[in-house]
């Protein structure tokens, strides 16, 4: 369908890793995006060390404090420090994003590769993927979350179900082109088994578009986690995620806008970094893909 139409699939053969890396490092988007993502990652990893306060501790005395020299981002209605919650929130948001990428990568690739390589299965599998894609991702995730209940793991499952079909389609498209290419034909002629070909050649060569797609999936997952939290099916309290801090502040949007604003900015920084990375990876790994 449209993705195939937008993609031009005459894919260049793989380049040596070192050359790719050099091109990436010379790419401005990669450097800026990588820098932003790295900072968020470091904050998430060292949250326990750098957060000025316990993100879960209630302190009724200092409820709804506006940002000041002690509470840089202000406090929420429990008297919890928003800065500390945003810092710790980075951890859960990145875990959700990362795990969604892994699940989507794994299942999307598997489904796409099987559909692309075993022609009889292609039609049924891809029609099912189309059916899943016929629901807006957020509705699909909401429905799945309503079925499974709100928890970090269930949010990951819901987001993976919502993002895997598109990924499967991209992988399938790459596989379809690559399997007809000469070097795969050659491998087949040399007596390599189908499974081996699938694994060794086709998947390795489909890696470029996949990595690009998964970078965007990471960004989508961070945004979608926040949206799910807003509807009330995100990660449960009290552990903070970017999304549930915002959701928590919605009742106090006017009297204490800082609860809503700061985690929103954190999302923007993270997603911007990921989008920049995605753009750079696309330019280098998959130059024919436009958006």
Partner 1 sequence: MLGFLTRRLAGAFLVLLLVSVLSFGIIWLVPGDPAAVFLDAGATPDQVERLRRELGLDKPLAMQVVEWYSRILKGDLGRSILLSRGVTEAIIERLPVTLSLAGISLVLSVVAGVAAGMVAATKHGQPVDQAVMAGALFGLSIPEFWLGLVLIVVFAVQLGVLPTGGFVPPTESITGWIRSITLPAIALAVVHMGFIARMTRAALLEVLSQDFIRTADSKGLTRLHILLRHGLPNALIPILTVTGIVAGSLLGGTVIIEQVFSIPGVGRLIIGAILSRDFPVIQGGLLFVALVYLTINLLVDICYAIVDPRVRLE
Partner 2 sequence: MTRRITWSALAFAAAALAAGSAMAQKKGGDVVIAITQAPPAVDAHVTSAQAARNITLHIFETLYARDEKAQPQPELAEGVNISADGLTYVFPLRKGVKFHNGKEMTSADVVASLERYRKVGASATLLGQIDTVSASGPYEVTIKLKTVQSTFLDNLSSPRAPIAIYPAEEAAKAANQINYIGTGPYRFVEYKPDSHVKLVRYDGYSQNPKATGRDGFAGKKEVYLDTVTFRFMPEAGARNAAFEAGEVHLVETVDGPTAKRFANNSKIAIHKALPFALQVIKFNHAQAPGNDVNFRLAVQTAIDMEEIMAIAFADIYQMDPSWLYPGSHAHNDAGKARYNTADLKAAKALLDKSSYKKEKLIFMVDSGRQNVDTATVIQQRLKEIGIDIELKVADWPTVSKIGFTKEGWNFWAHGFGIEPYEGPASVMSPWVNGTSQQAKDEKIDRLFDQLNREMDVNKRKALFTEFQQHMWDNAIAMKAGNYGLFQVATTRLKNFTPYRIPRMWGVWLE
| Residues of the shown chain interacting with partner 1 in the complex, contacts defined by CB under 8 A | 1-2, 4-6, 127-128, 130-139, 142-143, 146-147, 149, 219, 223, 226-227, 230-232, 246, 250, 253-254, 257, 260-261, 264, 267-268, 271-272, 275-276, 279, 290-291
d(CA 242, CA 71): 18
- Contact between 252 and partner 2 by CB under 8 A: the answer reads yes
Q: How far, CA to CA in Å, does 267 sit from each of 72, 270, 271?
A: 18, 5, 6
CA gyration radius, the chain: 22
Q: Footprint of partner 2 on residues 79-138 (CB under 8 A)?
A: 79
175 is a site residue for partner 2 (CB under 8 A): no
SS3 assignment, position 263? helix
Is 68 in a helix, a strand, or coil? Answer: coil
What is the residue whose two structure tokens read 């399938």?
Answer: 172
Distance CA 36, CA 91 (A): 15
Q: Does 51 bind partner 2 (CB under 8 A)?
A: no
Contact 181, 202 (CB under 8 A): no
Instruction: Tell whether residue 67 is a contact of partner 2 (CB under 8 A).
Output: no
Q: How far apart are CA 280 and CA 211, in angstroms?
A: 11
Angle (nearest 5°) at CA 98 between 240 and 102: 145
Q: Please name every residue paired with 75 in a beta bridge, in sequence order, or none if there are none.
A: 81
Residue of 146, 181, 207, 272 that binds partner 2 (CB under 8 A): 146
Site string for partner 2, 254-283 (x = CB under 8 A): xxx---------------------------
Would you say 245 and 259 are in contact if contact means Cβ atoms under 8 Å apart? yes
Q: Which does 195 bind (CB under 5 to 8 A by kind): partner 1, partner 2, none?
A: none
Residue 251 as a binder of partner 2 (CB under 8 A): the answer is yes
Q: Of 208-237, which residues contact partner 2 (CB under 8 A)?
A: 232, 236-237
Would you say 238 or 257 has its CB closer to partner 1? 257
Give the total residue count for the chain: 291
Smallest separation, CB 108 to partner 1 (Å): 18
Q: Which of 26, 52, 124, 238 binds partner 2 (CB under 8 A)?
A: 238
CB of 259 to partner 1, least distance (A): 11
**What token pair was written down for 149?**
């209940």
Site of interaction with partner 2 (CB under 8 A): 56-58, 60, 63-64, 77-79, 146, 149-151, 232, 236-238, 250-256
């Amino acid at each position: 369908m449209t993705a195939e139409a937008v993609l031009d699939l005459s894919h260049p053969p793989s380049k040596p890793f070192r050359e790719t890396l050099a091109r990436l490092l010379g790419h401005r988007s990669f450097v800026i995006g990588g820098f932003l993502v790295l900072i968020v990652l470091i904050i998430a990893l060292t949250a326990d060390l750098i957060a000025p306060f316990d993100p879960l501790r209630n302190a009724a005395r200092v409820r709804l404090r506006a940002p000041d020299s002690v509470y840089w981002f202000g406090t929420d209605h429990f008297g919890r420090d928003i800065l500390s919650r945003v810092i710790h929130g980075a951890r859960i948001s990145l875990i959700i994003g990362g795990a969604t990428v892994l699940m989507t990568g794994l299942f999307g690739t598997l489904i796409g590769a099987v559909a692309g390589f075993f022609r009889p299965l292609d039609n049924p599998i891809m029609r099912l993927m189309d059916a899943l894609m016929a629901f807006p991702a957020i509705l699909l995730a909401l429905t799945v979350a309503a079925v499974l209940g709100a928890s970090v793991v269930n949010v990951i499952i819901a987001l993976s179900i919502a993002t895997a079909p598109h990924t499967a389609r991209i992988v399938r498209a790459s596989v379809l082109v690559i399997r007809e290419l000469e070097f795969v034909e050659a491998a087949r002629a040399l007596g390599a088994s189908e499974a081996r070909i699938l694994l060794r050649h086709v998947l390795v060569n489909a890696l470029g578009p996949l990595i690009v797609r998964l970078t965007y999936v990471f960004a989508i997952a961070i945004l979608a986690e926040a949206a799910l939290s807003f509807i009330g099916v995100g990660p449960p309290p009290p552990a903070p995620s970017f999304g549930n801090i915002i959701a928590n502040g919605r009742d106090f949007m006017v009297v204490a806008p800082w609860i809503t604003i700061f985690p929103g900015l954190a999302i923007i920084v993270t997603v911007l970094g990921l989008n920049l990375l995605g753009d750079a990876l696309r330019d280098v790994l998959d130059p024919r893909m436009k958006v």
